Structure 1
Amino acid sequence: MADTPNPIQIQKFLGGVDYPATKDTLVSHAKDSGADGNVLDALQKIADKEYDSPAAVSSAVSDA
């Protein structure tokens, strides 16, 4: 999907997150960091679980 943000865009808005982090924590942190709609949509589509690293989040976004 062309609108899916790349991992660098996503991680830009997740800087400072303490891992492991839940999906809700990631979405909330991204919102607070000023993430755009594409990034928020991508994060809202990932599985509702704990993520142990930025790489795990990037992988989940690319698989969503």
Structure 2
Amino acid sequence: MSTAPNPIDLQRHLSMVDYPASKDDLIDAAREQDADEDIIEALEAMPDRQYDGPSAVSQAINRL
């Protein structure tokens, strides 16, 4: 992946997530919200763990 997705778009597609959430929960939620492939790919590339909130997701994606 060359660039991280726009953080506003990312959080818009994850707005319905109840945290803490697993990587798979985040991917499923993004797909349900018709997220772009860039967002799905970024979520798939994150470490497989529990995320406490939106900032933890953004931090994980920015480290890719």
What pairs up with 1:1-64 in 2 under 5 angstroms?
A: 1-2=2-3, 4-64=4-64
Which whole-Å CA distance do the structure 1 matches of 2:60 and 2:26 have between them?
12
Amino acid at match of 1:56: A
TM-score, length-scaled by structure 2: 0.93
Task: Give the gaps of 5 or more residues in structure 2.
Answer: none
TM-score, length-scaled by structure 1: 0.93
Q: How many residues align?
A: 63
RMSD: 0.8
Q: Which stretches of structure 1, 4 residues or longer, exceed 6 Å deviation after superposition?
A: none
Of all paired residues, the percent bearing the same amino acid is 43
Task: Give the gaps of 5 or more residues in structure 1.
Answer: none
